[in-house]
Amino acid sequence: MSTFLLEIVTPDRLVYSEQVNSITVRGIEGELGILPGHIPFVTPLQVAPVNVKIGSQVTPFAVQGGFVEVRKDKVVILAESAERPEEIDFERAEAAKERAETRLNAGRQDEVDHRRAELSLQRAMNRIKVSGGIKH
């Protein structure tokens, strides 16, 4: 089975760098599958899991927005933050989700705060989904 190099990079660290068979990402226009030999392109990503397939094994990563860039030699995902399932602190994500929901339900905040709470909720839900509800 052919492979390509996938790198997941954040401002802090190289989260992942491996030869993989395929990935699926959620671009702004929806779900996208990337296989070896895909034509070069760049697109923004939603806050959503990136599923990485090697053989029959699929590993999800919690990727908080950013971009995917398909190059000739590799695929790079560049995001503000990204975590593997085992790196996720489930309780921290649950607490972030509750804080965001409280803010969203409180009403009377300005548009900027509302948007910020929505984005925080998306990140928390993405992490909860990817961690599979595993408590550490």
Q: Scanning the structure block, which residue is given the tokens 């671009």?
A: 27
Radius of gyration over every alpha carbon of the chain, rounded to an integer in angstroms: 16
Q: How far is the CB of 14 from ligand ATP (least distance, A)?
A: 13
Query: Does 83 engage in binding with ligand ATP (CB under 6 A)?
Result: yes
CB of 91 to ligand ATP, least distance (A): 8
Does position 97 interact with ligand ATP (CB under 6 A)? The reply is no
Q: Closer CB to ligand ATP, residue 74 or residue 92? A: 92
Using the rule CB under 6 A, is 120 a contact of ligand ATP?
yes
Q: Which helix (H) or strand (E) holds 120?
A: helix 111-131
Give whichever of 23 and 127 is closer to ligand ATP, judged by the CB atom.
127
* Interface region with ligand ATP, contact rule CB under 6 A, candidates 31-39, 41-49, 51-59, 83-91: 83-91
Give the position of tokens 């509750």: 98
- Paired residues of 82 in beta bridges: 63
Q: Minimum CB separation from ligand ATP for residue 70, in Å?
A: 24
Rounded to 5°, the CA angle 75-76-79 comes to 150
- Between 53 and 103, name the residue whose CB sits nearer to ligand ATP: 103
Strands 30-34 and 22-27: antiparallel
CB of 122 to ligand ATP, least distance (A): 9
**How far is the C-alpha of 71 from the C-alpha of 57, rounded, in Å?**
24
